Protein backbone atom coordinates (compact mmCIF):
# COMPACT_ATOMS: atom_id res chain seq x y z
CA UNK A 1 0.00 0.00 0.00
CA UNK A 2 1.36 3.43 -0.99
CA UNK A 3 1.67 6.10 1.68
CA UNK A 4 -0.19 8.53 -0.59
CA UNK A 5 -2.53 7.71 -3.46
CA UNK A 6 -4.09 10.45 -5.57
CA UNK A 7 -6.66 9.18 -8.06
CA UNK A 8 -8.25 11.11 -10.93
CA UNK A 9 -8.35 14.47 -9.16
CA UNK A 10 -10.21 17.36 -10.78
CA UNK A 11 -9.67 20.70 -9.03
CA UNK A 12 -10.99 24.10 -10.03
CA UNK A 13 -10.48 27.78 -9.36
CA UNK A 14 -13.97 29.04 -10.12
CA UNK A 15 -14.58 27.90 -13.69
CA UNK A 16 -10.89 27.27 -14.39
CA UNK A 17 -10.16 23.54 -14.58
CA UNK A 18 -6.75 23.54 -12.84
CA UNK A 19 -6.26 19.76 -12.40
CA UNK A 20 -7.70 17.49 -15.07
CA UNK A 21 -7.62 13.92 -13.78
CA UNK A 22 -4.30 13.92 -11.89
CA UNK A 23 -3.25 10.55 -10.47
CA UNK A 24 -0.02 9.81 -8.61
CA UNK A 25 1.32 7.80 -5.71
CA UNK A 26 4.13 8.15 -3.20
CA UNK A 27 5.60 5.14 -1.44
CA UNK A 28 6.95 5.27 2.11
CA UNK A 29 10.55 6.43 2.19
CA UNK A 30 10.56 8.03 -1.25
CA UNK A 31 11.36 11.48 -2.54
CA UNK A 32 8.95 12.08 -5.42
CA UNK A 33 9.06 15.29 -7.45
CA UNK A 34 6.49 17.10 -9.56
CA UNK A 35 7.96 19.17 -12.37
CA UNK A 36 6.32 21.35 -14.99
CA UNK A 37 6.04 24.89 -16.24
CA UNK A 38 4.34 27.82 -14.52
CA UNK A 39 0.61 27.22 -14.27
CA UNK A 40 0.93 23.48 -14.85
CA UNK A 41 -0.89 22.64 -11.61
CA UNK A 42 1.98 21.65 -9.34
CA UNK A 43 1.08 23.88 -6.38
CA UNK A 44 -2.60 23.16 -6.90
CA UNK A 45 -1.84 19.45 -6.52
CA UNK A 46 -0.20 20.06 -3.14
CA UNK A 47 -2.99 22.37 -2.01
CA UNK A 48 -5.54 19.72 -2.95
CA UNK A 49 -3.70 17.00 -1.03
CA UNK A 50 -3.55 19.19 2.09
CA UNK A 51 -7.25 20.04 1.95
CA UNK A 52 -6.80 23.72 1.11
CA UNK A 53 -8.66 23.06 -2.15
CA UNK A 54 -11.52 20.58 -2.33
CA UNK A 55 -11.62 18.75 -5.68
CA UNK A 56 -14.91 18.27 -7.51
CA UNK A 57 -13.95 14.72 -8.46
CA UNK A 58 -11.40 12.09 -7.47
CA UNK A 59 -9.97 10.32 -4.44
CA UNK A 60 -7.03 10.86 -2.10
CA UNK A 61 -5.83 8.17 0.30
CA UNK A 62 -3.21 8.43 3.04
CA UNK A 63 -2.10 4.98 4.18
CA UNK A 64 -5.33 3.61 2.73
CA UNK A 65 -7.61 6.12 4.48
CA UNK A 66 -9.78 8.47 2.45
CA UNK A 67 -8.74 11.98 3.56
CA UNK A 68 -10.98 14.01 1.24
CA UNK A 69 -13.67 14.49 3.91
CA UNK A 70 -11.15 16.03 6.31
CA UNK A 71 -10.40 19.71 6.73
CA UNK A 72 -6.84 21.00 6.29
CA UNK A 73 -6.01 21.05 10.02
CA UNK A 74 -7.27 17.48 10.39
CA UNK A 75 -4.97 16.36 7.57
CA UNK A 76 -2.03 17.82 9.54
CA UNK A 77 -3.11 15.60 12.44
CA UNK A 78 -3.02 12.65 10.04
CA UNK A 79 0.67 13.25 9.39
CA UNK A 80 0.88 15.60 6.40
CA UNK A 81 2.82 18.87 6.68
CA UNK A 82 3.63 21.42 3.99
CA UNK A 83 6.43 23.90 3.42
CA UNK A 84 4.48 26.50 1.43
CA UNK A 85 5.68 28.48 -1.54
CA UNK A 86 6.98 31.82 -0.30
CA UNK A 87 7.91 30.31 3.10
CA UNK A 88 4.96 31.81 5.01
CA UNK A 89 6.76 32.30 8.32
CA UNK A 90 5.07 34.24 11.11
CA UNK A 91 7.02 37.45 10.61
CA UNK A 92 6.35 38.99 14.04
CA UNK A 93 7.18 35.86 16.03
CA UNK A 94 10.68 34.75 16.94
CA UNK A 95 12.36 31.78 15.30
CA UNK A 96 11.65 29.58 18.30
CA UNK A 97 8.03 30.71 18.51
CA UNK A 98 7.60 29.78 14.84
CA UNK A 99 9.02 26.33 15.54
CA UNK A 100 6.72 25.96 18.55
CA UNK A 101 3.78 26.75 16.25
CA UNK A 102 4.79 23.80 14.09
CA UNK A 103 4.26 21.49 17.06
CA UNK A 104 0.89 22.95 18.10
CA UNK A 105 -0.97 19.69 17.42
CA UNK A 106 1.33 17.67 19.68
CA UNK A 107 1.27 16.93 23.40
CA UNK A 108 4.42 14.76 23.72
CA UNK A 109 6.59 17.43 25.34
CA UNK A 110 9.74 15.30 25.65
CA UNK A 111 9.64 14.38 21.96
CA UNK A 112 8.90 17.98 20.99
CA UNK A 113 12.08 19.05 22.80
CA UNK A 114 14.02 16.30 21.03
CA UNK A 115 12.64 17.36 17.64
CA UNK A 116 13.51 20.99 18.34
CA UNK A 117 17.09 19.91 19.02
CA UNK A 118 17.05 17.95 15.73
CA UNK A 119 15.91 21.04 13.81
CA UNK A 120 18.69 23.09 15.39
CA UNK A 121 21.21 20.41 14.46
CA UNK A 122 19.86 20.45 10.91
CA UNK A 123 19.97 24.27 10.78
CA UNK A 124 22.57 25.65 13.22
CA UNK A 125 21.81 29.15 11.92
CA UNK A 126 18.33 28.91 13.45
CA UNK A 127 19.83 28.07 16.83
CA UNK A 128 21.99 31.20 16.59
CA UNK A 129 18.92 33.27 15.77
CA UNK A 130 16.32 31.53 17.91
CA UNK A 131 15.37 34.77 19.71
CA UNK A 132 15.32 36.83 16.51
CA UNK A 133 12.05 37.97 14.92
CA UNK A 134 11.43 35.85 11.82
CA UNK A 135 10.61 38.80 9.58
CA UNK A 136 14.17 40.07 9.94
CA UNK A 137 15.78 36.83 8.70
CA UNK A 138 17.30 36.48 5.24
CA UNK A 139 15.42 34.56 2.55
CA UNK A 140 17.57 31.48 3.06
CA UNK A 141 17.08 31.58 6.82
CA UNK A 142 13.32 31.95 6.40
CA UNK A 143 13.33 28.88 4.14
CA UNK A 144 15.20 26.93 6.82
CA UNK A 145 12.64 28.10 9.35
CA UNK A 146 9.71 27.07 7.14
CA UNK A 147 11.19 23.58 6.76
CA UNK A 148 11.96 23.33 10.46
CA UNK A 149 8.45 24.44 11.41
CA UNK A 150 6.94 21.72 9.18
CA UNK A 151 9.23 19.10 10.69
CA UNK A 152 8.06 20.05 14.20
CA UNK A 153 4.69 18.49 13.31
CA UNK A 154 6.62 15.22 12.91
CA UNK A 155 4.97 14.42 9.56
CA UNK A 156 5.05 11.06 7.84
CA UNK A 157 4.65 12.97 4.55
CA UNK A 158 6.34 16.32 3.94
CA UNK A 159 5.09 18.40 1.00
CA UNK A 160 7.50 21.06 -0.25
CA UNK A 161 6.42 23.81 -2.64
CA UNK A 162 9.29 25.52 -4.50
CA UNK A 163 11.84 25.46 -1.64
CA UNK A 164 14.62 26.96 -3.79
CA UNK A 165 12.61 29.93 -5.08
CA UNK A 166 14.50 33.20 -4.74
CA UNK A 167 17.59 31.67 -3.15
CA UNK A 168 21.22 32.04 -4.22
CA UNK A 169 22.69 28.91 -5.89
CA UNK A 170 24.91 28.07 -2.91
CA UNK A 171 21.89 28.15 -0.59
CA UNK A 172 19.88 26.00 -3.01
CA UNK A 173 22.45 23.22 -2.75
CA UNK A 174 22.25 23.36 1.02
CA UNK A 175 18.44 23.16 0.99
CA UNK A 176 18.49 20.09 -1.26
CA UNK A 177 21.15 18.43 0.88
CA UNK A 178 18.80 19.00 3.80
CA UNK A 179 15.87 17.43 1.93
CA UNK A 180 17.95 14.31 1.39
CA UNK A 181 18.96 14.23 5.05
CA UNK A 182 15.33 14.58 6.16
CA UNK A 183 14.41 11.71 3.86
CA UNK A 184 17.21 9.52 5.22
CA UNK A 185 15.82 10.15 8.72
CA UNK A 186 12.58 8.50 7.57
CA UNK A 187 10.34 11.28 6.27
CA UNK A 188 8.70 10.76 2.89
CA UNK A 189 8.85 13.83 0.63
CA UNK A 190 6.67 15.09 -2.22
CA UNK A 191 8.58 17.96 -3.82
CA UNK A 192 7.40 20.66 -6.23
CA UNK A 193 10.39 22.48 -7.63
CA UNK A 194 11.18 24.94 -10.42
CA UNK A 195 14.79 23.72 -10.55
CA UNK A 196 13.91 20.47 -12.30
CA UNK A 197 17.49 19.27 -12.68
CA UNK A 198 18.21 19.63 -8.97
CA UNK A 199 14.89 18.02 -8.05
CA UNK A 200 15.49 15.02 -10.31
CA UNK A 201 19.02 14.70 -8.91
CA UNK A 202 17.71 13.91 -5.41
CA UNK A 203 14.34 12.27 -6.19
CA UNK A 204 13.61 8.59 -6.63
CA UNK A 205 10.74 9.15 -9.06
CA UNK A 206 9.05 12.03 -10.80
CA UNK A 207 5.90 13.17 -12.55
CA UNK A 208 5.66 15.81 -15.27
CA UNK A 209 2.58 18.04 -15.15
CA UNK A 210 1.37 19.98 -18.16
CA UNK A 211 -1.83 22.05 -18.23
CA UNK A 212 -3.23 20.19 -15.23
CA UNK A 213 -2.47 16.70 -16.53
CA UNK A 214 0.27 14.17 -15.82
CA UNK A 215 2.00 13.64 -19.17
CA UNK A 216 5.01 11.60 -18.01
CA UNK A 217 6.01 9.53 -14.99
CA UNK A 218 9.19 7.53 -14.49
CA UNK A 219 12.23 7.11 -12.32
CA UNK A 220 14.08 10.37 -11.76
CA UNK A 221 17.08 9.05 -13.66
CA UNK A 222 14.99 8.15 -16.70
CA UNK A 223 13.27 11.52 -16.66
CA UNK A 224 16.65 13.27 -16.56
CA UNK A 225 17.63 11.35 -19.68
CA UNK A 226 14.30 11.85 -21.47
CA UNK A 227 14.80 14.05 -24.51
CA UNK A 228 11.45 15.82 -24.12
CA UNK A 229 12.13 16.60 -20.45
CA UNK A 230 15.64 17.80 -21.26
CA UNK A 231 14.41 20.25 -23.88
CA UNK A 232 11.36 21.51 -22.00
CA UNK A 233 12.57 21.64 -18.39
CA UNK A 234 16.32 21.07 -18.12
CA UNK A 235 17.54 23.58 -20.69
CA UNK A 236 19.36 20.90 -22.68
CA UNK A 237 19.08 21.12 -26.46
Residue 77's φ and ψ, nearest 5 degrees, are -60, -30
Q: What are the structural domains of the chain?
A: 1-79+155-237 (3.40.50.300), 87-152 (no CATH)
Q: Please tell me whether residue 162 adopts helix, strand or coil conformation.
A: coil
Per-residue pLDDT of the chain (237 residues; tens, 9 = 90+): 899 999 999 999 999 999 999 999 999 999 999 999 999 999 999 999 999 999 999 999 999 999 999 999 999 999 999 998 887 899 999 999 999 999 998 889 889 999 999 999 999 999 999 999 999 999 899 999 999 999 999 999 999 999 988 888 888 898 999 999 999 999 999 999 989 999 999 999 999 999 999 999 999 999 999 999 999 999 887
Angle 182-198-220 (CA atoms, 0-180°, nearest 5)?
A: 85
pTM above 0.75, yes or no: yes
* Residue among 169, 184, 175, 109 at smallest CA distance from 148: 175
Are 215 and 40 contacting, i.e. CB atoms less than 8 angstroms apart?
no
Amino acid sequence: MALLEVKNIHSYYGNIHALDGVSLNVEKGEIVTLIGGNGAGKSTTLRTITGLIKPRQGEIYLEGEDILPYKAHDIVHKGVAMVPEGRGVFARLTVEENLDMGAYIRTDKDQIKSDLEFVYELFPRLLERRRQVAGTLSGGEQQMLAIGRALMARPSLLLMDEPSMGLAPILVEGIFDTVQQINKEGTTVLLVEQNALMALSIAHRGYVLQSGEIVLSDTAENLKNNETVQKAYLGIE
